[in-house]
């Protein structure tokens, strides 16, 4: 997910009290996917409102850093230490404490999660 100096990224709420960091291309692909889902579905409307209502475009500074908007930092409970996790077409930003808690809860069930996700060799 390269982004040149002075480039733009999009920060948005992600599941499990984390934030998603998207390149412009990945953010646009997500928007395209959402346009293919009927807008009459209540869950789609709610997701779009929450996601886009909180998403923000941010610019990289000369050292490749971004400023996390306060409302998103609060949403993800970011304080001191954070963890970046690469996931497909975006990066997730987690509070280090929340990430450790997530790992403690999920890691013991990795095999079950993998079997459920890849039933019959295909992602369900």
Q: How far apart are CA 46 and CA 56, in angstroms?
A: 18
pLDDT per residue, tens digit, the chain (124 aa), is 555 455 899 999 999 999 999 999 999 999 999 889 888 899 999 999 999 999 999 999 989 899 999 999 999 999 989 999 999 999 999 999 999 999 999 999 999 988 888 886 565 4
How far, in Å, are 40, 66, 113, 116 from residue 92 at the CA level?
29, 14, 19, 22
pLDDT in tens, 64-80: 899 999 999 999 999 98
Coil, helix or strand for 32?
A: helix
pLDDT score, position 118: 85
pLDDT score, position 84: 96
pLDDT score, position 124: 47
- The pTM score is 0.83
Number of Cβ within 10 Å of residue 18's Cβ equals 24
Query: Structure tokens of 90?
Result: 């975006």
Q: Structurally, what CATH architecture does the domain formed by 8-95 represent?
A: 3-Layer(aba) Sandwich (3.40)
pLDDT score, position 7: 84
For the chain, the domains span 8-95
């Amino acid at each position: 997910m390269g982004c040149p100096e002075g480039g733009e990224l999009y920060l948005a709420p992600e599941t499990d009290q984390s934030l998603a960091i998207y390149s412009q291309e990945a953010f646009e692909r997500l928007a395209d996917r959402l346009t293919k889902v009927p807008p009459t579905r209540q869950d789609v409307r709610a997701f779009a409102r929450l996601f886009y209502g909180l998403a923000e475009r941010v610019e990289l500074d000369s050292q490749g850093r971004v400023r996390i908007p306060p409302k998103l930092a609060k949403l993800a409970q970011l304080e001191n230490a954070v963890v970046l996790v690469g996931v497909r077409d975006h990066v997730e930003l987690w509070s280090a404490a929340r990430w450790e808690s997530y790992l403690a809860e999920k890691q013991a069930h990795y095999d079950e999660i993998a079997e459920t996700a890849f039933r019959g060799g295909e992602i369900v």
